[in-house]
Amino acid sequence: MKWETKICINLLAFSVVSFGGEYAVITNKQMKSLTRAEIKAIFLKKMIFVEDVKVVPINLQARNRLRNKFEKELLHMSFTRLKKYWTKEHYLGHRAPLSMKSQASIKAFVTKVDGAVGYIDATNIDKTIKVIYRWRD
């Protein structure tokens, strides 16, 4: 491989790392750390309690860019597949998670409510919340 090609590949890799978005799943400070499988179970309403605290998963609104990334990364499900999942769950007596309009609302909710779990851009992280999972584009 020529040295010019190597430089181009390195520059490209650097730009992806530098400019690709970073995101985080956040909870209230009191919540214990959760595995990826547990986060998935919470957002599919299979796991209702964590250490005796009722968990409240919060989504961004349907078709939101970050929500789509979260569902792909953590749930491994597309928007369409999730719609099917929640239609089936309606028959089984379960409701889809609540959704909020903005990351600011999610962050405020998570700060105040025990058991709340949401996701935001990593740039919005501060000391009021606990990060339990991070991922990049």
Partner 1 sequence: MYKLIVMVVFFLSYLNAESEYELGSGVQVGSLPLFVGGYLSLDYKMGEDSDTYRLNDIAFLAYGTNSKFSYLGEFEYKNFYTQTYAADKITTHQDRRLYAERLYLEYNHDENYKFKIGKYNSPVGFWNLLPINVLRQTTSNPITSDILFPTFTTGVGISRTSFREYELKVEFMLQNNEDLDDEYNSYEIDEHYGINILYEKDDFSLKLNGGYFHRIETASSDKSLYYFLLSMKYEKEKYQLMGEVGEQFSKERVTTPYAGYIQGLYRLSEEHIASLRVESYDDSVANIKESVGIVAYTYRPLYPIALKSEYQFHSIESKNQFIFSFSVLF
Residue ranges that bind partner 1, judged by CB under 8 A = 35-38, 41, 46-52, 54, 76, 78, 80-81, 83-84, 86-88, 90-93, 95-96
Burial class (CB in 10 A: 0-12, 13-18, 19+), 40: middle
User: Cβ 133 to partner 1, closest distance in Å?
Assistant: 14
Comparing CB distances to partner 1, the nearer of 45 and 122 is: 45
User: Cβ 87 to partner 1, closest distance in Å?
Assistant: 4
User: Cβ 8 to partner 1, closest distance in Å?
Assistant: 34
Residues in Cβ contact with 62 at an 8 Å cutoff, skipping those fewer than 6 apart: 79, 99
Q: What is the DSSP letter of 61?
A: P
User: How many whole angstroms separate alpha carbon 124 and alpha carbon 121?
Assistant: 6
Comparing CB distances to partner 1, the nearer of 46 and 134 is: 46
